[in-house]
Amino acid sequence: MSDITFSVTATAASPTRTDVQARNFSLVLDEPPSLGGTDSGPNPVEYELASLAGCLNVTGHVVAREMGISIESLTMTLSGALNPAKFMGQSDADRAGFKGITVEMKVSSSADEATLEKWRTTVESRCPVSDNLVNGTGVSIKVTT
């Protein structure tokens, strides 16, 4: 299978709000009031967690089908802590991003624990978003006028 390229376009609607077009979909990203925003949408790191959840869901169901197991329900809770000091230009003591991300997957399935553990490790290794986060995909940013 050959590479597929995904892209989005984004416009700064305000200093904290970003309007994004992804295919035929519009997304709004904004900061909560505590970070100077108007709370008109999830913030970028919440979208990052949501992206991981969405990818784990899709990958989880693909892998379950391949393994011949049934997933009756899948609920996930994702969280990550970060120190906003670097983002706010106050300190370089911590990195700007999450210190780590925790994912709790609550799965309802007739599969036994060993099978679900094999499913989990396969999902984790094949999820593109998880791969991007774990393996530090390079990012190239350039400015044009």
Would you say residue 144 lies in a domain? no
In contact, 37 and 31? CB cutoff 8 Å? yes
Tokens at residue 76, please? Answer: 């996930």
**pLDDT score at 110:** 93
Q: How many CB atoms lie within 10 A of CB 29?
A: 20
Would you say residue 141 lies in a domain? no
Task: Clarify whether residues 28 and 64 are in a common domain.
Answer: no
**pLDDT score at 22:** 96
Task: Clarify whether residues 87 and 99 are in a common domain.
Answer: yes
77, β-bridge pairs: 104
List pLDDT tens digits, range 43-92: 999 999 999 999 999 999 999 999 999 999 999 999 999 888 887 788 88
Local confidence band at 94 (pLDDT 50, 70, 90 cut-offs):
confident
Instruction: Compute the radius of gyration of the chain from its Cα atoms.
Output: 18
**pLDDT score at 35:** 86
Q: What is the CA angle 57-61-63, rounded to 5?
A: 115
Task: Clarify whether residues 37 and 76 are in a common domain.
Answer: no
Task: Clarify whether residues 104 and 59 are in a common domain.
Answer: yes
22, β-bridge pairs: 25
Rounded distance between C-alpha atoms, residue 27 and residue 74, angstroms? 24
- pTM higher than the cut 0.85: yes
| pLDDT at residue 129 is higher than 90 | yes
Task: Clarify whether residues 58 and 71 are in a common domain.
Answer: yes
Number of domains in the chain: 2
Neighbouring C-alpha atoms within 13 Å toward the C-beta of 39: 3
Would you say residue 74 lies in a domain? yes
**pLDDT score at 127:** 96
Rounded distance between C-alpha atoms, residue 71 and residue 67, angstroms? 11
